[in-house]
Structure 1
């Protein structure tokens, strides 16, 4: 196997695994909003209202995604694709893990939904750059005749992350409700810390794309890519 083929397989694996794990983190929140947060993170009394509030916090992640894409997109054009993907991985992984430590409304009152909203905003901000960054890294690294094929890997990772998050909660919901709502729902959020370490190791081993390195060496990296 040639060095180029080995390198491209590494890039494809990093795009797939990294994307899957980051979107596993992102979709965990959506599943938890429907099953957990409406029960324990908001005032009890009106189940319908608490459910609407839970899904409102879910929506905030989508609202800030374009801003994350703009910020990290231009940053990637200045410092490189690899560095930005490492930053977004740490950003999303930290936010997801911390969600597993958020106390409930019963114990800290209004601080519970406030902390949840802040962490969801961080998640959404990081997610805004993940897909585009992974796709660019893969496209710039792939040979011209297989660029479309390799660029599909980040997209595949999104749906793997969705299946993993749904499957994890499908298993946990088999537990008694008091155990599930008491502490078991936190397991996937805390476990994401380990998954992020795995993805981080894979991404750190990547090389920067040849296209960006060429720009950097020639001194043609834009100082204001957004403009």
Structure 2
């Protein structure tokens, strides 16, 4: 291992080791990463804002408190697999390129979130409903684990040295915007449809939006 590291240090840099990007390329890279991150975290966060409604739909046999706890337990499960996503997609991005990996994470997030909108309720299929919801949440968490680290590295590789911190901050800005959009949408639906309408069918709308948003994010990243 030590010999290999020493040989690598002695090897002269080649053109493939250096990324040279002009201003439009940097702007496109940062915009694609930030917008894609916004859409990913909109998908990821909207579930949390619908926790109370999701508990009634997928865990109706529990008490109100247990419904919320069960819903957030499913939400937390996504965070357990996030490190695995980073371990898989990080090295993969080194080998095949960040752009392809970030496109893959976008597809996974959009597809799994979109699928939640089609899930049957507990009243229809019983215990299978929360089990399918858990599977979708695990895919979301796995995708997010590769998304954030990959997007951060992607921006860092394109950004000039003196602006790397500033340009990298747009990724966090995209995260907060995604959460804010999810919160705003759920608030509007609650005021428009009412609690019963949201529970009957309105909870599916934010998840259905993941489809077109994912296509926009994928286009930006490609």
Which category describes the TM-score, using the shorter chain as reference length? 0.7 to 0.9
Report the TM-score, using the length of structure 2 for normalisation.
0.88
For 2:172 and 2:116, how far apart are their aligned partners in 1?
25
For 1:17 and 1:59, how far apart are their aligned partners in 2?
24
- 1:49 paired residue among 40, 48, 66: 66
- 2:119 paired residue among 79, 102, 108: 102
Structure 2 residue aligned with 1:201: 219
- 2:175 paired residue among 150, 155, 158: 158
Structure 2 residue aligned with 1:189: 207
Structure 2 residue aligned with 1:112: 129
- 2:44 paired residue among 26, 41, 46: 26
Larger radius of gyration: 2
Structure 1 residue aligned with 2:22: 4
Any unmatched runs of 5+ in structure 1? 205-227
For 1:134 and 1:16, how far apart are their aligned partners in 2?
8
- 2:196 paired residue among 158, 178, 182: 178
Aligned residues: 201
Q: What's the RMSD between the two structures over aligned residues? A: 1.1
Q: Rate the CA distance shift 1:113–1:144 in 2: closer, same or farther, 3 A.
A: same
Contact map agreement 1:131 1:155 (CA 8 A) in 2: no
For 1:27 and 1:45, how far apart are their aligned partners in 2?
23
Any unmatched runs of 5+ in structure 2? 1-20
Contact map agreement 2:52 2:68 (CA 8 A) in 1: no
Helix, strand or coil at the partner of 2:118: coil
Report the TM-score, using the length of structure 1 for normalisation.
0.86
For 1:144 and 1:64, how far apart are their aligned partners in 2?
33
Contact map agreement 1:15 1:138 (CA 8 A) in 2: yes
TM superposition outliers: structure 1 runs of 4+ over 3 Å: none
Q: Rate the CA distance shift 1:84–1:45 in 2: closer, same or farther, 3 A.
A: closer
* 1:130-168, Cα deviation, whole Å (9 max, x unpaired): 111111111101111111111111111110111011111
